[in-house]
Amino acid sequence: MTAFQSYDVIIVGMGPAGASAAYELCQAGLSVLGLEKQSHPRYKVCGGGLSARIESILPPDFHSVIEDAVHRMIFSYGPKESYHVESEKPIAYMVMRSCFDQWLVDRALHAGAVVHEDEPATALTTLPDGIEVRTAKSRYHGRVVIGADGAMSLVAQQLFPHRRLRKIPALESEILSHSPEAHAYAKTALISLNAAKKGYGWIFPKKQGLSIGVGEFVRGMNQPRQSFQQFTRKEPTLAEQVIPSPLGHPIPVFNRSPGIMNGRWNNGLVQGRALLVGDAGHLVDPLLGEGIYYAVRSGQLAGTNIVQALQHSSPCFDNYEHAVINEFGREFQIASRLGRVVYGVPRSWHRWVGKTFPGPYQGVLQRYCGMLQGQETYQTLWDRMMTRMKKPFIRRS
Ligand SMILES: Cc1cc2nc3c(=O)[nH]c(=O)nc-3n(C[C@H](O)[C@H](O)[C@H](O)COP(=O)(O)OP(=O)(O)OC[C@H]3O[C@@H](n4cnc5c(N)ncnc54)[C@H](O)[C@@H]3O)c2cc1C
């Protein structure tokens, strides 16, 4: 073991959440050590879909790592039934996580972060003036520690031991293809609500081919491999493709229970001098499993709040949790409610609603895409849906 090295902030995990926090902290002049289990560029099981509103929180040069911009979303219930939303402005951007995450880490390095790759944190101990982080190579002291170590977070396990939160199973595969079928997906993303029993399947366009996957969003649905096989077999555009065996990874979606109680987020994102960001904090949209936007944004919020808190002699980091609740709290609660409708009722109900009320149904999908673009929020989408549903009753009374 080498000597104890001290930093203002130690970040465990250098994915989108950790790298974004590191950048923010270094910009403010704090010393930052990022510990990363793997070595960038590394493969990450992920669809790589970024909602276009990511533009409001990243500088324009992130476009250098974009694989494709999505201008058309297809929501399908099977090969014959689908609803299309098109937009002149991008609805989403597609990235390969190896390149996107590398770009974020490079940004943090340029800002002054020290990053140790291939050096996983193995143990954490709370001290009166900070937290000790151990690895197989050394031990470090941080005045503050950020847990940005993803869905299986060691920081959450060791420093937030009473959290018992839900993770949903998901699978993803990438196909390399220049076939006409794959080209049909250029600038187009497919969300198939027929692909999983209580979840969805996706096909996302990449420069070299397609990303394909499924996620099961309701407790007890633990057969994503079966869903994946059925989805790829039934989807006509994938019929002739060679699809490598998918890789699995859990998605730690926002939990409806305990949700947000007494000003705390799902049992807490702050514990003394430790903060959780991104997947480690279960900051994932429970409707479609979008997590990258929230990872970047929570990393930024943690960074700015730590900078402010460390200006005080006895720092308190609760403002980070309040900021997360303010920005994502109501949004995730509504997303969770919508998730119960989308995955809770039979698919035939969606088909029936779509056929009987095509205009309003298309309108909701359009507004959902508007939300991905940052023009709407879940709150405005929900309010409009409620007003629309009440209209016939108001007219009658
Ligand atoms: C199949 C699948 C598809 C998905 N598709 C999408 C999508 O299309 N769009 C979207 O927005 N989200 C998607 N997500 C969710 C998205 O991948 C995550 O929300 C996002 O990666 C969270 O970023 P993060 O930085 O919090 O964690 P991660 O990206 O998981 O990064 C955590 C980092 O911590 C490192 N680490 C772990 N343990 C340690 C340790 N002990 N010490 C040091 N380092 C450690 C890891 O190596 C990793 O680099 C998908 C997830 C899955 C599973």
129-164 pLDDT, tens digit per residue, is: 999 999 999 999 999 999 999 999 999 999 998 888
Q: Is the CB of 174 under 6 A from ligand 1?
A: no
State how far the Cα of 394 lies from the Cα of 5, in Å rounded to an integer.
67
**Segments of the chain assigned to CATH 3.30.9.10:** 70-94+168-251
> Virtual CA dihedral for 318, 253, 151, 161, nearest 10 degrees?
50
* Least-confidence region, from 32-41, 161-170, 382-391: 382-391
Matching residue, tokens 């430790």: 274
**Cα of 359 from ligand 1 centre, angstroms:** 37
Q: Is the CB of 374 under 6 A from ligand 1?
A: no
State how far the Cα of 164 lies from the Cα of 157, in Å rounded to an integer.
10
**Cα of 79 from ligand 1 centre, angstroms:** 31
Count Cα neighbours of 108 within 13 Å in the Cβ-side half-sphere. Answer: 35
pLDDT at 393 over 80: no
172 CA: nearest ligand 1 atom: 1
DSSP 245: P
The protein residue whose alpha carbon is closest to atom 30 in ligand 1 is 150
What mean pLDDT, rounded, does the chain reach? Answer: 91
Asked if residue 147 lies in contact with residue 12, where contact means CB atoms within 8 angstroms, the answer is yes
Please indicate whether residue 237 or residue 115 has the higher confidence score (pLDDT): 115
pLDDT at 394 over 70: no
Q: List CB contacts of 174: < 8 A, sequence separation 6 or more.
A: 206, 209, 210, 211, 212, 244
Average confidence (pLDDT) over 196-206? 90
> Virtual CA dihedral for 210, 211, 217, 221, nearest 10 degrees?
90
266-291 pLDDT, tens digit per residue, is: 889 999 999 999 999 999 999 999 99
281 CA: nearest ligand 1 atom: 26
Rounded to 5 degrees, what are φ and ψ at 51? -65, 145
3-state secondary structure of 28: coil
Q: Is the CB of 67 under 6 A from ligand 1?
A: no
For domain 70-94+168-251, the CATH class is alpha beta
pLDDT at 358 over 70: yes
Structure tokens at 11: 């970040």
**Cα of 215 from ligand 1 centre, angstroms:** 15
**Segments of the chain assigned to CATH 3.50.50.60:** 5-48+96-165+254-335
Q: Which of 130-134, 216-220, 342-346 has the highest mean pLDDT?
A: 130-134
**Cα of 108 from ligand 1 centre, angstroms:** 17
Position 3 scores a pLDDT of 62
The residues that bridge with 134 in the sheet, in sequence order, are 123, 139
DSSP 50-76: EEGGGGGTS-GGGGGGEEEEE-EEEEE
pLDDT at 222 over 90: no
Matching residue, tokens 């190896």: 98
Q: Is the CB of 15 under 6 A from ligand 1?
A: yes
Position 345 scores a pLDDT of 79
CATH code of domain 5-48+96-165+254-335:
3.50.50.60
Please indicate whether residue 260 or residue 249 has the higher confidence score (pLDDT): 249
* Residues of the chain above pLDDT 70, percent: 95
Helices 292-309 and 16-27: crossing angle in degrees, nearest 10, is 30
122 CA: nearest ligand 1 atom: 41
Position 397 scores a pLDDT of 47
**Pick from 188, 289, 171, 196: nearest CA to 237:** 188
9-18 pLDDT, tens digit per residue, is: 999 999 999 9
**Pick from 10, 213, 1: nearest CA to 94:** 213
Asked if residue 69 lies in contact with residue 180, where contact means CB atoms within 8 angstroms, the answer is no
The protein residue whose alpha carbon is closest to atom 42 in ligand 1 is 120
State how far the Cα of 330 lies from the Cα of 181, in Å rounded to an integer.
40
Position 181 scores a pLDDT of 67
Instruction: Give, for ligand 1, the residue of 36, 46, 146, 332 to mutate: max count of ligand atoms closer than 8 Å to Cβ.
Output: 46
**Cα of 151 from ligand 1 centre, angstroms:** 7
The residues that bridge with 34 in the sheet, in sequence order, are 11, 115
